[in-house]
Amino acid sequence: MKEIEKMTLVRGLPGSGKSTYAKKMGIFHIESDMYFYRNGIYTYDPLCISTAHYWCKKTFENACLCGIECVVSNTFTQKWELEPYIKIAEGLGYTIEIICMKGKYGNIHNVPKEILEQMENRFEQIDGEIFI
């Protein structure tokens, strides 16, 4: 069995190519938006966003505990949003690769323009991240 050494976090604004890039990696892929799919239909509920992020983080932690190489793709606009994932991975001896997507493909969840602008304004650069 291959020894997994790193986990990957993919970040960027909605429509930047995060999900597409993560899926193409061919490894276990997690993102908070997955929580909102029921029978293949995306049904976003802003009241459940904390639960969705909790689900994503716990799924990531379980993958790490089981030695399953995985990639998490979320907006991660600020450093504090990444920190729990980094702490989990590094605490279990993995390195973290952070990839920042810069594409502008149009977001599939119809995030309003004013929300996109707010996200862009609070987007923090992370030391050592890879830009794509």
Q: How far apart are the first and last CA of the chain?
A: 30
39: confidence class by pLDDT, cuts 50, 70, 90: very high
1: confidence class by pLDDT, cuts 50, 70, 90: very low
What is the spatial distance between Cα 80 and Cα 3, in angstroms, rounded to a whole number? 29
List the structure tokens of 25: 């990696």
List the structure tokens of 5: 């050494």
- Condensed to tens digits (0 to 9), the pLDDT of residues 40-60 reads 999 999 999 999 999 999 999
| List of domains in the chain | 6-113+120-131 (3.40.50.300)
What is the spatial distance between Cα 51 and Cα 67, in angstroms, rounded to a whole number? 24
In percent, the amount of the chain with pLDDT more than 70 equals 98
- Condensed to tens digits (0 to 9), the pLDDT of residues 93-106 reads 999 999 999 988 77
Q: Residue 35 has what pLDDT?
A: 97
Give yes or no for residue 16 having a pLDDT over 60.
yes
DSSP H or E segment with residue 23? helix 18-24
In percent, the amount of the chain with pLDDT more than 90 equals 86
Our separate counts of H helices and E strands in the chain read 4, 7
Give yes or no for residue 11 having a pLDDT over 50.
yes
Mean pLDDT of all residues belonging to the chain:
93
Give yes or no for residue 2 having a pLDDT over 70.
no
Give yes or no for residue 130 having a pLDDT over 50.
yes
What is the spatial distance between Cα 30 and Cα 53, in angstroms, rounded to a whole number? 10
